[in-house]
Chain A
Amino acid sequence: MKIRLLAGLLALGMAAAGCGGATVESSPSASAGAPQGGSSSSAGTVKIAINPWVGYEASANVVAYLLKNELGYTVELPEIKEQLAWEGFENGSVDVIIENWGHPDLKKTFIEEKKVAVEAGSTGNKGVIGWYIPKWMADKYPDITDSKNLNKYADLFKTSESGDKGQLLFGDPSYVSNEDALIKNLKLNFKVVVGGSEAALIKGAQQAQEQQKALLFYFWDPHWLFNKTQLVRVNLPAYTEGCDADPKKVACDYPEMDLDKIVSKKFADTGGKAYELVKNFNWTNDDQNAVANDMTNNGMTGEQAAKKWVEANTAKWQAWIPK
């Protein structure tokens, strides 16, 4: 009892004295962009979160390559999923999200309310999520591309995982997703089966087209796979402004998004040239697909693929380098 009283008094005293206590931001390891004492060769450290799809990695690796080799920064690429990365802005574990897919709710929370993040402009990539089937299915069942007819073909999509319903193959648990709501609101006799990764989706899609197997799956553009395997998008009810406002009531397709970059407020304020480079970074879907393709299908590491692209596209990236 005494101790509690004492602690209470102490807390009061500290508050009265204007000692603010510890906030989340007061983290010992927050070193965004600030020059580090130890090594004189490095201009600072930039932490670019890595989200689990190869297109994102392609962008991150090209930016990282330029930060390292043109501006002399140290770059860390921690594996942090989409929504956690936003939280990382708050305590300094993330400086940059290089490819953000919408997330108006997170923008509201972290940019407007908490003021720990800021937008850093478009990546130039146009992104759209959708439901896809292999082309042979669209050829064989012409009306399957209308979501209204999906229930008619649900039996084709049954697997041991989906039981007596059709399977809708999904990717990484962290991806942007309206799938549950769509199935419910469009009254589809389907079940979301989580493949767990982009790789599972790609493999499923390739097998489905090559071996003429049925598959309905979640996928997105920009993606190199569209250059290799013929896929057809299933038309969900068309997107209209605001039809996805309430996540529970979504009954429409995904919108085309202007993918953008988000950085921590701290990085925007103190990141110097690194921030400028991130802000200037802007390329096309084809650029990204080329790098992503090298990473996935030509056995290159992210760094090698980035180097190849950088060497071949000097004019493009030189426009990003701050003067």
Chain B
Amino acid sequence: MSSTTAVGAPSRLRLPRWAAPAGVAALIVVAYLVFRGTGTLPHDKEAPQFLAVTELREWIDEHRNESPLFLYFLNYIRLFVGSLYDLFSGALTALGWPGLTGVLGGLAWLAGGWRIALLAVAGVSAFGVLGLWQSSVETLALVAVAVLLSLAIGVPIGVWAGRSARVRRAVTPVLDVMQIMPTFAYLAPLALFFHIGAPAGAIATMIYAIPPAIRITALAVSEVSPTAVEASGSLGATGRQTLFKVVLPLARPTIALAVNQTIMMALSMVVIANLIAAPGLGGDIIRGLSRAQVGIMLPAGVAVVVMAIVLDRMTTALARRGPHARPRRLDLAAAGALAAAGLALIPVLPRAWPEGWTLNVTAEINAVVRWAETSWYPVTTFVKDQTSVLLLNPLESLLTSAPWWLVALTVLAVAWRVSGPRAALTALGCLLAIALLGTWEHAMQTMTTVALAVLITLMIGLLLGVAAARSPRYSAVQRPLLDAAQTMPAFVYLLPALALFETTRFTAIFASIIYAVPPVVRLVEDGIKAVPAEVVEAAVSAGSTPGQLLWKVQLPMARRAILLAANQGIVMTLAMVVVGGLVGAGALGYDVVVGFSQRTDFGLGFVAGVATVLLGVMLDRITQGADRRPSPHRRKST
């Protein structure tokens, strides 16, 4: 314990600044060398915690048709969501491709004019051309149901939170945790309560997508000018009138942004929902994964990205319009005509996309991937093996052979130093809970993978961010790429990784790096650009070289932004590493996958899902100091 207090309290002795941290680090190293191999918590597949959950699931399975909770509550929800999904997929299928193209095109025209309409028509046709019409319609229906439910529940909560500070305080921490929860963690509990299939998939997607709906709505409502609300009140409007006639219309553009974000979140979840047998494009992705054929996965991935772009542009266009803008009559007519044309063509054209119009590129893509594999194989294998042997394996054995209490103390010390006592205690609590759950060893392995991925992500992020901050021309090239990268659903990044590195831990690392680099670059760039120009000028006129300017002035002053970038990077990397369980990353993510594949391992998967959440909270708390703690007046040597 003495070591931690030494960290917490500023050193009163006249020691150099680095002495305390260095001393603690040395102590930890010595403790590791002395106690290595003792106090480890090896993984046991048959741990009682896992078995208990598996038994609970068996019990629930047996009583699904008996217990009143299921008979009168959960099964009805399931039935309701199921009918909603059937309604949507039925309607979309009935529209057929001409109808759907026309209607979506019309809606897009209403949202943002002919350009967006053209994009929508092209996008919808792309589903057919890719030969994925049916799966795309199913995914669209699933997204529609999930988004509809998210908004139906999220917007009222958001409005409430926007109008009452107390509600906001109650909701915010819940949303915080929800947003750092890796996608995988949602699946097992839902399969438990809602069985498998489309309803459970839709509910999982809804829960995943709801935080932005609540958060942004609350923000929108709370930002409505108080003068307007007051004026409305003083004119004698009732609370309800004020809400519906003043607040909501004024908040509309921002709420449209909430819709946009909700759709984007939903799209990245629908694919993963296939693990609990939800229909749609996820099925094609999983099929490709289990055949190791990028040629099957890529078109499905492209279809999801196209869907994301179309829906993103439509809702963004909606958000850009002023609060009281009405569509012009001409636009209305054009949109109507487009929709009517589509509907009129339904009886004429076949409902299914004509087979002659599809472009089957599976074989070609597979050939390209095979070519890449054979010609780059020596390089990729070398990179993969060297990283595993030189970095991953030693780090992993370091973390798994260290006594649990030493790891816990280290986490406590680091978190205390970076983020203060409260965050440190939360982080410690999470870590101890992970130990109690029996997932210690796998959590350490996952942490190894995350640590390595974050390290590389930060290095690349800093490099590109600094480059962008220093050269506006480069920044102009990079920005649209970053924008595009951030609209893509997470799993899309698995595909190139898989093509290059097959299924190994390194694949997940590679995927999480390309997933997490864009936001990190952006935060770093913004952080450096935010350094006041006078400071830079002063440094330059004092004779700093560009290198000195960067290292002594810009980076230290952008410390908060960089820490925030690290925080973001860690949370995103963890999410991706866990999904990486699908492509060879072992440990927690794989436990979750196995939990769905083997009934006897359900408990293991469920508990691993919980452990990923705890790990996420822990890593977030360790690094969240960036947000809350003012940057220290003395420069740190880190």
Contact = CB atoms under 8 A, between A and B. Distances in A.
B598 A173 contact: yes
Given A87-B195, A90-B195, A172-B290, A78 B277 contact: yes
B78 A22 contact: yes
A24 interface: yes
A145 B598 CA distance: 29
A182 B289 CA distance: 27
Contacts of B273: none
Nearest to A38: B94
Contact of B586 (A20, A87, A194): A194
B68 interface: yes
Interface in A283-323: 299
Given A28-B79, A173-B590, 6 more contacts: A22-B72, A26-B79, A93-B196, A93-B197, A197-B290, A299-B363
A54 B293 CA distance: 13
Contact of B71 (A20, A81, A195): A20
A257 interface: no
Interface in B483-514: 502-505
B597 A174 contact: yes
A139 interface: no
A210 interface: no
A106 B75 contact: no
Interface in A185-241: 194-200, 203
A177 B290 CA distance: 16
B292 A203 contact: yes
8 nearest A-B pairs in the assembled complex, by CB-CB distance = A21-B71, A199-B292, A174-B597, A52-B290, A22-B75, A160-B388, A196-B503, A23-B65
B93 to A, nearest CB: 9
B497 to A, nearest CB: 13
Contacts of B64: 23-24
Contacts of B70: 21
A14 B586 contact: no
Q: Which of A84, A106, A203 has the most CB of B within 10 A?
A: A84
A195 B72 CA distance: 43
A23 B71 contact: yes
A78 B198 CA distance: 12
Nearest to B283: A79
A105 B599 CA distance: 10
Contacts of A197: 289-292, 503
A200 B292 contact: yes
Interface in B582-638: 582-584, 586, 590, 593-594, 596-600
A88 interface: yes
Nearest to A202: B292
Contacts of B504: 160-161
A69 interface: no
A170 to B, nearest CB: 11
Interface in B248-298: 274, 276-277, 279, 283-284, 286-287, 289-293
A41 interface: no
Contacts of B393: 160, 163
Contacts of B102: none
B626 to A, nearest CB: 35
B365 to A, nearest CB: 13
B46 interface: yes
A40 interface: no
A28 B82 contact: yes
Given A78-B283, A194-B590, A84 B196 contact: yes
A83 B598 contact: yes
A149 interface: no
Interface string A50-78: 10101000000000000000000000001
A91 B292 CA distance: 30
Contacts of A156: none
Interface string B45-84: 1100000000000000110110010111001101100110
A197 B289 CA distance: 7
A82 interface: yes
Interface in B371-425: 384-385, 388-389, 393, 397
Contacts of B597: 81-84, 172-174
A173 B594 contact: yes
B526 interface: no
Interface string A5-26: 0000001001100001111111
Q: Which of A82, A172, A196 has the most CB of B within 10 A?
A: A196
The size bracket of the interface on B is 35 or more
A170 B45 CA distance: 17
Nearest to A86: B599
Contacts of A21: 68, 70-72, 75-76
B291 A93 contact: no
A198 B65 CA distance: 37
A293 to B, nearest CB: 15
Contact of B384 (A23, A81, A160, A173): A160
A27 B505 CA distance: 40
A180 interface: yes
Nearest to A93: B197
B503 A83 contact: no
Contacts of B76: 21-22
B211 to A, nearest CB: 27
B195 A91 contact: yes
Given A23-B65, A196-B289, A197-B290, A248 B46 contact: yes
Interface in A84-114: 84, 87-88, 90-91, 93, 105-106, 109, 113
A247 interface: yes
Contacts of A29: 82, 86, 198
B65 A200 contact: no
A128 interface: no
A87 B196 contact: yes
Nearest to A82: B597
B65 A24 contact: yes
A27 B277 contact: no
Given A106-B599, A160-B384, A200 B503 contact: yes
A204 to B, nearest CB: 10
Contact of A84 (B46, B277, B283, B397): B277
A24 B594 contact: no
A129 interface: no
Contacts of B384: 160
B40 to A, nearest CB: 15
B498 to A, nearest CB: 9
A42 B287 CA distance: 27
A24 B65 CA distance: 7
Contacts of A26: 75, 79
Contacts of A80: 277
